[in-house]
Amino acid sequence: MAETMTAPAGTGHHAEHDDHAHVTNTGISNEKLGMWLFLGSECLLFGGLISTFLLYKKKLNTFPGFENTTVNKLGANLFDIPFTSVSSFVLLMSSLTMVLSVSALQRDDLRRTRLWLLATALLGSTFLAGQVYEFTAFVKEGLGFTTNIFSSAFFTLTGFHGAHVLIGIIILMTMYALSMRGRLSSRNAEALEIAGLYWHFVDVVWVVIFVVVYLIK
Amino acid sequence: MALVEREPLALPAGTGAGTAIEPLGVLARPATKTGWRSWVTTVDHKKIGIMYGVTAFFFFLVGGFEALLIRLQLAQPNGSILSADVYNQIYTMHGVTMVFLVIMPMAAAFANYLLPLQIGARDVAFPRLNALSFWVFLAGGLFLNSSWFIGGGGPDCGWFCYAPNSGVTFSPTHGVDFYSVGLQIAGAASLIGSVNLIITVLNMRAPGMSLFRMPVFTWMQLVVQFLLAFSLPVITVALFLLTFDRSFGANFFNVAQGADPLLWQHLFWIFGHPEVYILILPSFGIVSEIIPVMCRKPIYGYPFMVFSGIAIGFMGFGVWAHHMFASGLGPISVAAFSLSTMFIAVPTGVKILNWMATMWGGKILFNTPMLFSAGLVAMFTIGGLSGVTHAIAPADTQQTDTYYIVAHFHYVLFGGALLGLFAGMYFWWPKAFGHMLSDRLGKWHFWITLVGFNLTFGPMHILGLQGMSRRIVTYQPEDGFTLWNRVATLGVFIIAIGVLLFIYNMFHSYRTWKAAGRPNPGPDPWDARSLEWSIPSPTPEHNFDVIPEIHAQDDFWHRKYGEDERGRAVRVAATENVVQKGDAKGVHLPSPSYFPLVMAAGLPFIGYGVIFNRLIAIPGVLLFLVGIFGWAFEPATEPDDHHGDAHGSDGHGGDDHDGAAKATPATEEAPVG
């Protein structure tokens, strides 16, 4: 029967009876289920940030004295929708390359795994670069982090997402390093799959943010 | 259940078998199993549980000291022991400490120690993450309290720190910065712990241990961990916004810029109300274990107990605005939250009735754990009833921010949560430390605490209805508050005597036990029902020699007792014959690691960096990175590391405070704990 976290001594296969290698009640590995749970928790983090943003976007427009300020040309002039659409497309495409990378690893095709890993990280970095450019442009226009309640909420929400993308890129590069050291193979492809779960989540959150922040007037 | 033997997932361990990987020489894995090194590097859920308990108890003394100062200040009209400013800091830190650094981690101590044992597992799902969550919690607690010394005093905004009081204008010292960053760190610890414990319960149950055979304590902790996982991110947002406001000039709570101070209240209480259940449900679980054992009856209405716990968990997310009735929400919101608050009293009432039905007709053994459990049922009922009165919005607008509220939540958190935690300590002490606490002293402890508690918090109902405002630094003789404030101050010193007696009991019981030649209480001193009693006391490092196969709820009990034709319990097997010996050899357990500690140690520096000077954050970030990458590249288990090769047998071991390494060959001799 399934014994959790045990292996008889002296079998000589200890590494394969690592505490990660036991059978679970749900049939889903601890790591994967843990990641799903963490992502569930992250939903509430972004939920809180998005609610804050929506509240303050509405409030600023009704706050006396702000109707005609330069920083209130929100949405209409400040957001460069075509630019952000392209960078959103770039980020969404990185989900595709992520899937290709996991699929290649499952087939033990390490060369393609690395190629697609790099592509994913590169697409993510492109998105981040776009965000840096956008932030800089806003600051030049006079909309800084401390300018008003809208700008604080905007930079915090998109900044949190950007930080998540950055962490994702670091995870991808760590995976790349592990694969270079021969520590990644089809046997532990699930590790890359879990990193992929995180990456897809960050992409999906961006879809929501893009709609809420940029598209809804 | 899928029985496919999968390949290891761990990145580093996977293919590198046989090669010793030591990423950092100084932090090479320790081989000793005693002494301080074995504690700071441990990934054993039992040691981590004990460390949680010790730390929480330390903070309990700190928070209790703050409570004494509050009561001394209020002992007479025009009290002058504390200035108004210091008084604000003291009551804020009293609340923050007791909620976040005492009751939550004390409940986490029980969860860590007991959850794997009650479901028949060898450890939690992620042992190193478990260590990380403890060290991060400790880092957060120390960080928060360091505010007294380097933050220009503690936070002074009340434990829920409403905006705009929490802004720089009204709170110019660094106290609130320490509050926001410190709670952020402590919250991260709870989040990590919750993911870990949920996965443990969902994934690592022994064969046959279906969800509806799990002990009620495990169920309540599972609900609590779900509440943590889904409510903590909300306060994480709130605390980030506060930090950004104070340290980076954002405008989230800047009313002059049109910000909405109610945003904080909503975010805080969307977390804060589930938090109330996070604090109380573990104690509900504890007494649900103790009452059946001491009444010699199974728990009455097990499915109702479980489902009412789940219902409380769900409904706990839908009542937050009853903390905000006085803030002008509008009649529809107020009516809706009034109703939902009345509804949530129903599952709570179910629990109380079930405990009483369990006691009804039982042969009740009135020993210390049972007294504390019965105390919880009685005191929590009072607190619950006064809570329902708050659901009625018109009454609540009268009571809000008075001592009536203070009385209510102390009946719930002291009379409920804390009495339950004490009950649990007396009950599981032999399992953790291998000796009993003195029952005679325990009874004194209980009665003194009960009397002191009611003297302290009972009069606060009256004071509140008389109109005494909470958080007020003093009052005038003509207010008519003097008498009951004197009684309350008298009461708090009686509680303090009870706490001292408990501390004395710990030492006294240990010394008596040592003087008597360390007699072992046996695996099952209470003739109990759940799995942790089927293994030796103190728990062997590997928990179970053989993972038990579960056939029923209260499986261990049914191994000992059957029923005669009239339905009465009759013994079918001697306890010695159904318990495990704890002498298994060569059980493979996860290896200790320094990296959780290293990672956690970086966090306070990052916090100081945010508050004072960004340069201080650099060593913090470095420590964090060393920790996380050292961790990622370290195998979870050393290939040639066998635990449990030589275990302390009866009458030996469990001496957790005596860490002196015994002169024995290195990897042999593993006194438990």
pLDDT tens string B71-119:
999 999 999 999 999 999 999 999 999 999 999 999 999 999 999 999 9
The radius of gyration of chain A's CA atoms, rounded to the nearest angstrom, is 22
Would you call B665 an interface residue with chain A, using a CB distance cutoff of 8 Å? Answer: no
- pTM for this predicted structure: 0.90
Sequence letter at residue B597: L
User: Cβ–Cβ of B258/A59 closer than 8 Å?
Assistant: yes
pLDDT at A6 > cutoff 60: no
User: Cβ–Cβ of B1/A17 closer than 8 Å?
Assistant: no
Q: Closest Cα of chain A to B142: distance in Å? A: 25
Sequence letter at residue B522: G
Burial of B11 (0-12, 13-18, 19+ CB in 10 A): buried
Task: Give the model confidence (pLDDT) of A31-75 as tens digits.
Answer: 999 999 999 999 999 999 999 999 998 887 776 655 555 555 554
- Interface probe, candidates A3, A5, A36, chain B, greatest B C-beta count within 10 A: A5
Q: How far is CA B182 from CA A159, B8, B89, B171, B264, in A?
A: 22, 36, 15, 16, 17
Q: How many CB pairs under 8 A join A and B?
A: 222
What ipTM was estimated for this complex? 0.88
Residue in A149, A183, A188 nearest the CB of B258: A149
The Cα–Cα gap between B134 and B601 comes to 11
A53 CB neighbours in chain B (<8 A) are none
The Cα–Cα gap between B96 and B137 comes to 14
A1 CB neighbours in chain B (<8 A) are 3, 207, 547, 549
Give pLDDT, residue B275: 96
Residue in B263, B636, B640 nearest the CB of A20: B636
Cα torsion A148, A149, A153, A156: sign? positive
Q: Closest Cα of chain B to A44: distance in Å? A: 6
User: Cβ–Cβ of A37/B195 closer than 8 Å?
Assistant: yes
Please give the DSSP secondary-structure letter assigned to residue B74: T
Burial B172-209 (b: 16+ CB within 10 A, else e): ebbbbbbbbbbbbbbbbbbbbbbbbbbbbbbbbbbbeb
Number of Cβ within a 10 Å radius of residue A142: 12
Residue in A14, A24, A184 nearest the CB of B17: A14
Give pLDDT, residue B656: 37
Place of tokens 């499915």: B303
β-sheet bridge partners, residue A149:
none
Q: Closest Cα of chain B to A142: distance in Å? A: 15
Burial B641-650 (b: 16+ CB within 10 A, else e): bbbbbbbbee
Residue in B11, B230, B248 nearest the CB of A145: B248
- Interface probe, candidates A14, A74, A154, chain B, greatest B C-beta count within 10 A: A14
Would you call B244 an interface residue with chain A, using a CB distance cutoff of 8 Å? Answer: yes
The backbone torsions φ and ψ at residue A117, rounded to the nearest 5 degrees and listed phi first, read -60, -50
- Interface probe, candidates B237, B268, B551, chain A, greatest A C-beta count within 10 A: B237
Residue numbers of chain B with a pLDDT score lower than 50: 1-24, 643-673
Give pLDDT, residue A19: 42
Give pLDDT, residue B667: 33
B222 CB neighbours in chain A (<8 A) are none
Sequence letter at residue B221: Q
Give pLDDT, residue A68: 53
Cα torsion A70, A76, A77, A81: sign? positive
User: Cβ–Cβ of A19/B127 closer than 8 Å?
Assistant: yes
pLDDT at A174 > cutoff 80: yes
User: Cβ–Cβ of A174/B632 closer than 8 Å?
Assistant: yes
3-state secondary structure of B590: coil
Give pLDDT, residue B19: 40
